[in-house]
């Protein structure tokens, strides 16, 4: 099967970036199979993502990176180049609700994700059998109210041991400490069970029910120190009516959460999400 070199760039916008980068790739015989660009007129920043057929270039990804380095420097780029054969490693963290976990495990086994789930960390032991049936290690790390730091040290060791590139909070009902947020900045993806910024905080479906809204939603975002305020990757909604109880909202919510988290993770794994201050550029 073909593999690709995926080049993701952000830099101050100026003339000639596309010409320089595409010229560089063409100069090495590279075949571009997918190209996306965006100029943010407000901030004057430029974003691009190229998918290059690896076989069309007679270089390893390391060689290509080295060759690209001067171009990157010239345009003051923040950039990354990844060989898609190097599949990102995904650690999933859950609490007691399994819907997002079941969904992600299905998508992984069905080959829908360009990455591999490598293990699950939970503050409860409920999902062990499910996870182990999928042949994955399960780490039960209880989070005691009076000793959270110790627990999160253990979580951090698990993430390290799994050599995870991405951590997915698939309804992990604990707040990560600042140290973890910072260390894995841009690599921890959360699903929030609300259409943020509405109903940030606890029990959003009950809040939504009591406000009488006609739509509920879910938000997939990167985790930052400020709770529920990180860059949004994806959102979606589900229609509700006066007929529906808070329990119905929870049930509908599960479906939206699964869908939104799966899309967000998928795009992240395919290097389609570029963080830009507190916002994202998503080349979906």
Please give the structure tokens belonging to residue 171: 């309804």
What are the beta bridge partners of residue 94?
A: 122
The answer to whether 83 is a known catalytic residue is: no
Nearer to its own copies, 164 or 170 (CB): 170
Distance CA 89, CA 238 (A): 31
Closer to its own copies at the Cβ: 50 or 152? 50
Does 62 interact with its own copies (rule: CB under 8 A)? no
Piece in contact with its own copies (CB under 8 A), picked from 72-80, 85-93, 96-104, 154-162? 96-104
Shortest Cβ distance from residue 65 to its own copies (Å)? 19
For 31, 126, 127, 156, the CA distances from 122, given in Å and listed in that order, are 43, 9, 8, 12
First to last CA, the chain: 23
- Using CB under 8 A as the binding rule, whether residue 102 contacts its own copies is answered as yes
Cis omega (within 30 of 0) for bond into 264 = no
Closest CA to 117 of 127, 130, 129, 104: 104
* Footprint on residues 31-60 left by its own copies (CB under 8 A): 31-35, 37-41, 56
Residues 161 and 159: their CA atoms lie apart, in Å, by 5
How near is the Cβ of 125 to its own copies at its closest, in Å?
A: 17
Of 154 and 225, CB closest to its own copies: 225
Decide whether 26 or 161 has the Cβ nearer to its own copies: 26
Query: Is residue 201 at the binding interface for its own copies, with CB under 8 A as the rule?
Result: no
Structure letter (DSSP) for residue 60:
-
**Phi, psi dihedral angles at 264 (to 5 degrees):** -60, -45
Determine if 133 is a binding residue for its own copies (CB under 8 A). yes
Q: Are strands 166-169 and 89-94 parallel, antiparallel or unpaired?
A: parallel
Number of residues that bind its own copies (CB under 8 A): 64
* Contacts (Cβ under 8 Å, ≥6 apart) of 106: none
Name the segment binding its own copies (CB under 8 A); options: 60-68, 71-79, 140-148, 238-246.
238-246
Give, as one character, the DSSP assignment of residue 271: T
Identified binder of its own copies from the candidate list 228, 234, 257, 270, rule CB under 8 A: 234
| Distance, CA of 119 to CA of 127 (rounded, Å) | 12
Tell which one of 117, 152, 235, 249 touches its own copies (CB under 8 A). Answer: 235
Active site residues: 228
In the complex, the residues that contact its own copies under the rule CB under 8 A are 15-16, 18-20, 22-23, 25-27, 29-35, 37-41, 56, 98-99, 102-103, 106, 110, 112, 133, 195-199, 211-215, 217, 231-237, 241-243, 245, 251, 254-255, 259, 276, 278-282, 284
């Amino acid at each position: 099967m073909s593999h690709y070199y995926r080049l993701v760039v952000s830099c101050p916008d100026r003339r000639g970036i596309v010409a320089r980068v595409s010229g560089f790739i063409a100069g090495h015989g590279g075949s571009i199979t997918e190209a996306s660009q965006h100029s943010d007129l407000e901030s004057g920043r430029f974003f691009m993502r190229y998918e290059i057929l690896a076989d069309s270039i007679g270089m390893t990804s390391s060689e290509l990176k080295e060759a690209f380095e001067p171009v990157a420097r010239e345009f003051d780029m923040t950039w990354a180049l990844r060989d898609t054969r190097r599949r990102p490693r995904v650690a999933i963290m859950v609490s007691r609700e399994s819907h997002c976990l079941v969904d992600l495990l299905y998508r992984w086994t069905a080959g829908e994700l360009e990455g591999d789930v490598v293990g699950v960390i939970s503050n409860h032991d409920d999902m062990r059998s499910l996870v182990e049936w999928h042949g994955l290690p399960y780490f039960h790390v209880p989070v005691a109210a009076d000793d959270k730091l110790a627990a999160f040290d253990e979580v951090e060791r698990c993430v390290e041991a799994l050599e995870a590139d991405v951590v997915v909070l698939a309804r992990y009902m604990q707040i990560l400490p600042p140290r973890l947020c910072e260390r894995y900045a841009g690599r921890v993806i959360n699903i929030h069970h609300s259409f943020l910024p509405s109903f940030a905080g606890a029990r959003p479906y009950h809040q939504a029910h009591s406000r009488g809204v006609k739509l509920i939603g879910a938000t997939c975002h990167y985790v930052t120190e400020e709770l529920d305020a990180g860059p949004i990757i994806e959102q979606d909604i589900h229609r509700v009516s006066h007929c529906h109880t808070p329990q119905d909202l929870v049930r509908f919510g599960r479906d939206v959460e699964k869908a939104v988290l799966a899309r967000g993770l998928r795009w992240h794994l395919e290097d389609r999400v570029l963080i830009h201050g507190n916002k994202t550029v998503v080349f979906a």
